[in-house]
Amino acid sequence: MVGNKLALITLLVFGMLTSAIAEESSAPQDEILLKNGSRIFGTVTTSRDGVVTVETDFAGTLSINTEEIQSMRTQGDLVVQMADGRIFKDRPITMEEDLFVVTEGNGDQLSYAVTDILLVNPEPWELGDGYKASGLVSFAWALERGNSDTDELDYNLESIWRSLEDRYTVRFNGEIDEANDAEIADNWKVVGKYDYFLEDRWYTGANISAEQDQFADLDLRYYAGAYVGRHFYTESIFSLEAELGLAYVNEDFSTAPDQDYPGANWSLRIASDYLGGGSKLYMNHDAIWNLDTTEDIILNTAFGLSFPLLGNLEAAAEVLYEYDSGAVEDIETLDETYNFRIGYTW
């Protein structure tokens, strides 16, 4: 008797699970028809920079260029942000050729050019709600054993808080060197920035920085200044951001005479995901030009390739060039560093 009851309960549970799975699998899905005739069923999660992201049961997450899409129909409710600032919330959407159609609550349909879509399912900060926090912390090690034991640890931290109106940035990097268990250098640099966004991708900002480099006889260099900047290109395939400004610079050396001067400073940030696979090519460049002694210029440039490892872990291969035409006597004007670092992003 007990066995019969257990069998009956098992059949009931199995039937409920089978029904739930069947119901889930038969639930309406978003449909994308590609220009090559392929059909993709799943759930559209977002669209930005000309790429639609869809979650599928058969292939996980897919990213599809809008240029490859013949038509798209969504069953769920999406939030659509238009280029002119209009926002449609909780509306199913349809895309045919170059037209985007949104269904209003009363059943009316409104048509727009696909190029008028800025974002589908934007993040809260992109709708003016708070800040988006992102950042990276990474480390690189170099060890040498033989006639002398030397160890080098390079570290880097960058954190950015971004809203529609402004942006805060903090960067901190350094290098600790030991030889035969004795510390021979502890170099570091910290930068703080504030940007306020204007129209047409322009922004203005202020920055402060402090730096110590024992190898360059530098006890402390600090500067404070203001600048204007612009996002020239913002797509993931190629982004370019440039800044130009003026700063007051003060330098204290261990042996050389101290100095302070008015300076011009500029920076470039270039990145591209052209190689795909979550990798990124990048170049970061910063400069300070002594306006009192114009042959004195400081140039710091990093070329790198970063790529994902597991979860939020990433690795990067970098080449760093640090040039100081006004370096003190017996100090090389150009310093080259080759790094392979591992870090955590958020």
Distance between CA 173 and CA 190 in Å, rounded? 7
Segment 194-221 mean pLDDT: 94
pLDDT of residue 190: 97
Fold of 132-345: Porin (2.40.160)
Segment 118-126 mean pLDDT: 86
pLDDT band at 222 (very low <50, low <70, confident <90, very high): very high
Residue 189 bridge partners (DSSP): 173, 211
3-state secondary structure at position 4 = helix
Q: Are residues 274 and 281 in contact, defined by beta-carbon separation less than 8 angstroms?
A: yes
pLDDT band at 181 (very low <50, low <70, confident <90, very high): confident
- Please report, as a single letter, which amino acid is at residue 75: Q
Taking only the tens place, the pLDDT of each residue in 128-178 is: 889 999 999 999 987 766 666 778 899 999 999 999 999 999 999 999 988
Distance between CA 204 and CA 246 in Å, rounded? 12
Taking only the tens place, the pLDDT of each residue in 30-77 is: 888 888 988 999 988 888 777 888 888 888 888 888 888 888 888 767
CB within 8 A of 171, min separation 6: which ones? 156, 157, 158, 189, 190, 191
Segment 237-264 mean pLDDT: 95
CA 321-169-198 angle, to 5 degrees, is: 110
Distance between CA 236 and CA 242 in Å, rounded? 16
Total count of residues recorded for the chain: 346
Q: Are residues 287 and 300 in contact, defined by beta-carbon separation less than 8 angstroms?
A: yes
pLDDT of residue 107: 72
Domain limits, the chain: 29-122, 132-345
Highest averaged pLDDT of the listed ranges 44-53, 103-112, 259-268:
259-268
- Please report, as a single letter, which amino acid is at residue 343: G
Distance between CA 344 and CA 35 in Å, rounded? 39
Dump the DSSP string for 112-134.
EEGGGEEEES--GGGGTSS-EEE
Q: Are residues 295 and 325 in contact, defined by beta-carbon separation less than 8 angstroms?
A: yes
pLDDT of residue 98: 73
- 165, two tokens: 């109106």
CB within 8 A of 90, min separation 6: which ones? 77, 78, 79
Mean pLDDT of the chain: 86
Nearest alpha carbon to residue 157 among 169, 166, 168, 167? 169
Please name the helix (run of DSSP H) or strand (run of DSSP E) that holds residue 8, with its range, or none: helix 2-25
pLDDT of residue 146: 63
Question: First-to-last CA distance in the chain?
Answer: 58
- 12, two tokens: 């009931």
